[in-house]
Chain A
Amino acid sequence: MHSDRASLGLKIAAVGGLLFLHLPILLIFLYAFTTEDKSYQFPPPGLTTQWFGVAWNREDIWPPLYLSLWVATIATFLAMILGTLVSAAMARTAFFGREQISLLIILPIALPGVITGMSLRSAFSIMDIPFSTWTIILGHATFCIVIVYNNAVARFRRLSGGILEASADLGANSFQTFRYVLLPNLGTALLAGGMLAFALSFDEVIVTTFTAGQQSTLPIWMLQELVRPRQRPVTNVVAIVVFLATFVPILIAYYLTRGGSETAGAGK
């Protein structure tokens, strides 16, 4: 007889697969508490919370952290504005070459990061633009826009043109229509897109390597730190910070878009 329940073998395989994916993350957390700071020895000889204090007092952590936060914030901000505008144009009017442009917008996320990084680097050098925080932001904005765009364009499609016309019909000017009808319906999608973009930017390494010049963002600082056998658990403490800074927004984004699809689907 056919059963809807998974067989024992399949269950073991699924649990095994999940453990394989997620155990290393737990190990990273574990080594933030180890007493041994030269090599990652298993099991840890002892547990301590001293590394959090050490990390807090290490001067070289703060500039990369600030830089990463700043870059992610500005790149996300740019992406939210540009991504929303592009998605509005794409969703509401048909014009020649629309599909092609849509593909071009999505390309930065489909292309390998090395390609984006290389092309940006050569473009900057051709145009004589010195590497700075702004070149990093530009690099990040290319893929952040895609995230915001994808979120917003999906929501735009679900919003029938009808409610925007209904708003104008009832006497609202375009600003009022934007404020009272478009934004509330688009808001969660934009917020979710922004959160994901922030998370992506915050831990981006490849494009950053090509566009950063002498500065280090937090992930790049971690990479450099790992090759030095000195206070290794500090890196793990920073890893926890990175984990929280990226995972929490992604989780929020997930719940935001899930709620959005529920309310949109309920009208059908």
Chain B
Amino acid sequence: MTAAVEFLRVSRHFGPASAPVKAVDGVDLTIAEGSFFAMLGPSGSGKTTCLRLISGFEKPTSGTIRIFGQDVGDIPPNRRNVNTVFQDYALFPHMNVRDNVGYGLMVKGVDRRTRDARAEEMLALVKLEGYGDRKPAQLSGGQRQRVALARALVNEPKVLLLDEPLGALDLKLREAMQDELKALQSRLGITFVFVTHDQGEALSMADSLAVFNEGRIAQIGTPAEVYARPRTRFVADFVGSSNVLPPEVTRAFGGPMKWASLRPEMLRVTAADGVALAGTVTGIRYLGAGSRLSVALNGTEVAALLPAGQPVPEPGATVGLAFDPAALHVMEGEG
């Protein structure tokens, strides 16, 4: 399989060389052709900057970026076969939807008949038939998002970059669009690079994902790998809010003297008598599909997921915790 996008020790620093803001710092990554690649990370971790490096609006301070094997260091944004769905959509306010979608063809010199027909096709693809004559201001947020998608797809890019495209949508629409985007991606076979700070979105949609922390990649892998075997404390906490256990606690839980991650849903709450691990309930959060208990033991707080239907203990009660030893994941990475 060819790599659609490759980063070789890419850095992008802003500000003075004496005290640089390291937006992207020594990133290595490979995005396989035709895959759905997610970039996940907290605000300010460098996700947008990475996308802008791919689209060409930022130039790396150091390192090399290749798109389909070609070094794109000297290629301006308008000559890269890459299109972007911008975070705020950036639709042209003075053009109607059809002209927005057809813009990429117009600047290539495609005649009006052909590009209007093509724009209608793209609008049908995003289920917006009949909206061609409207102005962007006359659309809902979800509809604008679709127009932005259709506009970015009209040039048949080899790589589509999406910068938190669902951020402005409500939960229901967001979930519907997640399914649609995923379906569209597998149908078109285009490489999607999808930026989000929502770990659920990244886990459910991506073929592989990179977790960003302070301009660096903390971990890269399939969602299942990243979720089950977080490499660092940061990843364990950020992806799925795992219990991050310090070495002494790991030891008490029957593991080695190392940092470890233990998923809350892997902990079973039992009666307090006759078990190795017992602690005091310090807090209960009702989640609908269950409850999340905070249990203080061995000097740390551990979260356990209690499925709905089980009796919920009172705060202050003593409970026992049990888990399958295989669920205790020892982390090799630092930080």
Contacts and interface: CB of A to CB of B under 8 A. Distances in A.
Given A168-B76, A168-B78, A267 B137 contact: yes
A180 B95 CA distance: 10
Given A180-B107, A263-B137, A169 B77 contact: yes
A227 B148 CA distance: 67
Contacts of A180: 103, 106-107
B222 interface: no
A170 B119 CA distance: 14
B68 interface: no
B137 to A, nearest CB: 4
A193 to B, nearest CB: 18
Interface in A122-164: 160, 162-163
Interface stretch (A17-25, A171-179, A211-219, A235-243): A171-179
Contacts of A168: 57, 76-78
B90 interface: yes
B78 A171 contact: yes
Of the four ranges (under 10, 10 to 19, 20 to 34, 35 or more), the interface on chain B belongs to 20 to 34
Given A180-B106, A266-B137, A165 B90 contact: yes
Contacts of A181: 92
Contacts of A167: 92, 103, 107
Nearest to B76: A168
Given A168-B76, A169-B77, A171-B78, A184 B94 contact: yes
Max chain A CB contacts within 10 Å: which of B94, B106, B152?
A: B94
Nearest to A187: B94
Contacts of A160: 88, 90
Contacts of B137: 263, 266-267
Contacts of B45: none
A185 interface: yes
Interface residues on A, range: 20 to 34
Given A170-B83, A266-B137, A165 B77 contact: yes
Interface string B69-100: 00000001111001110101011111000000
Contact of A263 (B77, B90, B93): B93
B143 to A, nearest CB: 13
A264 interface: yes
B151 interface: yes
A267 B55 contact: no
B108 interface: yes
A264 B82 CA distance: 29
B155 interface: yes
Given A166-B92, A263-B93, A263-B137, A173 B86 contact: no
Contacts of B135: 266
Contacts of A176: 107
B104 interface: yes
B171 to A, nearest CB: 23
Given A266-B137, A267-B136, A163 B155 contact: no
Contacts of A267: 93, 136-137
B185 to A, nearest CB: 19
Given A162-B88, A180-B106, A267-B136, A169 B94 contact: no
B142 to A, nearest CB: 16
A184 B90 CA distance: 15
Nearest to A169: B84
A17 B83 CA distance: 59
B104 A171 contact: yes
A163 B86 CA distance: 9
A86 to B, nearest CB: 23
B93 to A, nearest CB: 5
A220 B267 CA distance: 92
A235 B91 CA distance: 53
Nearest to A183: B94
A95 to B, nearest CB: 15
Contacts of B107: 167, 170-173, 176, 180
A167 B155 CA distance: 12
Contact of A162 (B83, B90, B94): B90
Contacts of A184: 94
Interface string A227-268: 000000000000000000000000000000000000110110
A162 B57 CA distance: 11
Given A160-B88, A263-B137, A266-B137, A169 B93 contact: no
The 6 closest A-B pairs by CB, nearest first: A162-B90, A170-B104, A166-B90, A266-B137, A172-B107, A168-B77
Interface of B: 55, 57, 76-79, 82-84, 86, 88, 90-94, 103-104, 106-108, 135-137, 151-152, 155
5 contacts: A166-B92, A168-B78, A170-B104, A171-B155, A263-B137
Given A168-B57, A171-B108, A180-B103, 10 more contacts: A163-B91, A163-B92, A167-B103, A169-B55, A169-B82, A169-B84, A170-B78, A171-B78, A184-B94, A263-B93
